[in-house]
Amino acid sequence: MSADEEKALGNAALQKKDFPTAIKHYTNAIDLDGSNHVYYSNRSAALLSNGDVQRALEDGEACVGLKPDWPKGYARKGAALWKLKRMNDAVKAYESGLEACPGDKALSDGLKAVKDAISAPPRPAGMMGGAQNPMASLFGSGLIDKIASDPKMKEYLTDQAFMDKIKTLQTNPNALQGMLGDPRIMEVLSMALGGNVGFGGPGDDSTSPPPAAAPKKKEPEPEPEPVEEDTSWMNEEELEKHNKKKDSVKRKNEGNDHYKKKEFQQAIAKYDEAISLDETNMTFLNNKAAVYFSMKEYETCIQICKDALEVGKANFAPFVDRAKCLTRMGKSYQKKGDLAEAIEAYKNAQLEHHTKDTERMLKNLELEKKKADKLAYQDPVKADEAKQRGNDLFRQQKWGEAVIEYEEAVKRNPKDAPIRNNLAAALCKIMDFNAAKAHIDEALALDPKYVKAYARKGDIHMLMKENHKALDAYKAGFELDNTNSACKEGIMKVQNMINQGSQNMTEEEKRERAEHGMADPEVQAILQDPVIRQVLQDFQQNPKAAQKAMQDQMVNGKIQKLIAAGVLQVG
């Protein structure tokens, strides 16, 4: 959909007072063509009517920046500043507009209305609010006559509820705030402000003339006569070229009709006719590529897209058209499974014209390719070869080189638990204990009954001076296989360290060990357990109660864990 089509949809929504939809379409138009001042002006009107005054002001300023000699941009800016109660700034906006566009009625009326609001005298004592509403001057005695002169609004005068609201506004302008939900009141307010100063429809004209007096009887209007194109200035060659271009667009539209009906061959024929009449328009080729994409003939679609890009570059086609063509090419590559080419096409499309949709497709595809590359790299045979090379290097005490080979084996076969166990052993040799722990945990996740991994996990925790975790790991492996010497010896080694090791420690070493244990979330959770806290207190104040509590297996296990972590010292 083109930017102008989006704008037309926005205009229709605004006329229906569907402000969020209008804002959406105007935003789409701006995304497609951010250099068109009218789109910002129209969105400013929709935002102001929707209550988003700050953004309405920003769009008004953008409109003025893009088209400094267009009065409506200043009117949008002034209306937003007025709504924000920045009255002096609103005056400056209208005055700047009149300097750029002298004599514009909408700007003159807007300036007068703001100045009247600023200079309005305070309300007499006893009136609501203690100060006059800036809008009070708009609802004078001539308001009814103005409404009656409008072909549409004059019908409102027959509605008693509407008349009651108008009378209320004339006596109490402060009541306006509670009536803004009535679109008829908004129309009256727009008229009172001097036309389309910020509350009305979008419009593309530079002025907003006052409504004409309604005819007594609306007669059916005759159909407009077709406008003849002035081709008298063209020579024979230029006229032929002009007629061919007109005919090519006609053929393209006929092709579009066939395409919508899924009459693909007929659509291709029409697009070919359009191309033969005008070889400089890449849109015809792009449309033809779309047909082949729908027919799932992706290779043909890609080739036509390439041809379209050549035509577009040679004839300075809009960047948006080139981006569309590249995006279609990317989709075709993606359908073929060539993710690398698809990513390249999407990146090139973003360079031509950046869109959020293409950015999303690009990011998703990059993630998909990363996963596909990892999967394609996997090879159990090559993984075993890398593992054997790692084993040889490990035996030669070339720990760093062994790590590299084991890591290659993991990439080739990430679901192999023994490879990760070997990698963890090599990582321990180069003292990268955290990485070793991560790989051994992954090995156990792959195979929860892998006893060697539990023994290795215990060793890693011993090296990290986490005796309580080492004891848990060894015990878990021993429960799975009570004949495993590594787990059995590990349990004995940890228990000896707990029972005797602390006797050989200095006070500084004991303190460091306790601080290390305290950093463990599991230890922290035990210390926060109210039962354990009571037991620890009883050890000092009521030893019998503490000994009785220790008979509970769960309590005993937690206390032993505190002792193993060095947080609780005995002896």
| pLDDT at residue 208, rounded to an integer | 39
Could you tell me if residue 36 is left (phi over 0), alpha (psi between -120 and 50 degrees) or otherwise beta? beta
Flag whether 431 is in a domain: no
Do 261 and 354 sit in the same domain of this protein?
yes
pLDDT 10s digits, 151-185: 777 777 777 777 878 877 777 776 776 676 677 88
CATH code of the domain in which 516 resides = 1.10.260.100
**Which CATH number does the domain housing residue 319 bear?**
1.25.40.10
Is residue 482 situated within a structural domain? Answer: yes
Looking at the structure, tell me whether residues 181 and 92 fall in a common domain. Answer: yes
- In this predicted structure, what is the pLDDT of residue 162? 79
pLDDT at 404 over 90: yes
Rounded Cα distance between 200 and 75, Å, is: 11
pLDDT digit string (tens) for 244-282? 888 999 999 999 999 999 999 999 999 999 999 999 999
Q: Domain for residue 208, yes or no?
A: no
Whole-number pLDDT of residue 141:
58
CB 18 within 8 A of CB 41: no
Query: Per mean pLDDT, which range of 18-22, 333-337, 442-446, 552-556 is the poorest?
Result: 552-556
Q: CA distances (Å), 197 to each of 41, 80, 93, 425, 518, in order?
A: 11, 10, 12, 77, 69
Domain-embedded: residue 543: yes
Same domain, 309 and 188: no
- Looking at 174, 192, 210, the residue that finishes a domain is 192
Q: Which of 108, 129, 353 is nearest to 208 (CA)?
A: 108
* pTM for the model: 0.45
Ramachandran angles phi, psi of 379, nearest 5°: -160, 105
Per-residue model confidence (pLDDT) at position 123: 47
Read off the pLDDT band of 233 (50, 70, 90).
low
55 and 171 share a domain?
yes
Q: Looking at residues 390-409, what average pLDDT do you find? A: 96
Residues 34 and 174 in one domain: yes
* Mean of pLDDT values over 397-422: 96
Residue 292 has pLDDT above 90, yes or no: yes
Query: Would you place residue 191 in the very low, low, confident or very high pLDDT band (cuts 50, 70, 90)?
Result: confident
d(CA 8, CA 21): 12
Same domain, 476 and 565: no
Confidence band of 571 (pLDDT split at 50, 70, 90) = low
The pLDDT score that the predictor gives to residue 190 is 72
Confirm whether 202 is domain-assigned.
no
| pLDDT above 90: residue 418 | yes
CB-CB contact of 210 with 195 (8 Å)? yes
Confidence label for 206 from pLDDT (cuts 50, 70 and 90):
very low
pLDDT at res. 211: 43
Q: What does the pLDDT read at residue 177? A: 65
- In degrees and rounded to multiples of 5, residue 216 shows phi and psi of -65, -35
pLDDT, position 542: 85
Domain boundary among 329, 352, 376: 376
Is residue 205 included in any domain, yes or no?
no
Q: What's the pLDDT at 523?
A: 84
Mean pLDDT of the chain: 84
pLDDT, residue 135, reads: 56
Mind giving me the DSSP string for 136-177?
A: GGGSSTTHHHHHHTSTTGGGGGG-HHHHHHHHHHHH-GGGGG
In a shared domain, residues 39 and 100: yes
Q: What is the mean pLDDT of residues 365-373?
A: 92
pLDDT surpasses 80 at 81 = yes
Task: Tell me the mean pLDDT in the region 383-389.
Answer: 96
* 103-123 average pLDDT score: 81
Asked if residue 368 belongs to a domain, the reply is: yes
Percentage of the chain with pLDDT > 90? 51
Considering the domain architecture, whether residues 252 and 350 belong to the same structural domain is answered as yes
| Per-residue model confidence as pLDDT tens digits over 7-45 | 989 898 988 889 999 999 999 989 888 888 899 999 999
Decide if pLDDT at 285 tops 50: yes
Q: Is residue 233 part of a domain?
A: no
> What residue numbers bound the domain in which 465 lies?
454-504
Q: Has residue 214 got a pLDDT over 80?
A: no
Residues 486 and 552 occupy one common structural domain: no
Secondary structure letter of residue 203 according to DSSP: -
Whether 466 and 551 map to the same domain: the answer is no
**Helix, strand, coil fractions of the chain, as percent rounded to 5:** 75, 0, 25
What pLDDT shows up at residue 518? Answer: 77
Q: pLDDT at position 213, please? A: 44
Label residue 291 by pLDDT band (50, 70, 90): very high
**Cβ burial, residue 543 (10 Å; 0-12/13-18/19+):** exposed
Question: 135: Cβ–Cβ under 8 A, 6 or more apart, which residues?
Answer: 117, 173, 176, 189
Closest CA to 489 of 499, 476, 502, 478: 478
By percentage, how much of the chain surpasses pLDDT 70?
A: 85
Q: What is the pLDDT of residue 230?
A: 52
Nearest to 143 by CA among 135, 112, 119: 135
pLDDT tens for 118-157 read 876 554 433 433 344 555 566 665 677 777 777 777 777 7
137 and 29, same structural domain? yes
Same domain, 150 and 179: yes
Tell me if 110 sits within 8 A of 79, measured CB to CB.
yes
Please tell me the total count of domains within the chain. 4
Q: What is the pLDDT of residues 483-537, one digit of tens each?
A: 999 999 999 988 887 776 556 666 776 777 777 777 778 888 888 888 888 888 8
- 217 Cβ contact list (under 8 Å, min separation 6): none
Domain termination residue (choose one: 343, 376, 409):
376
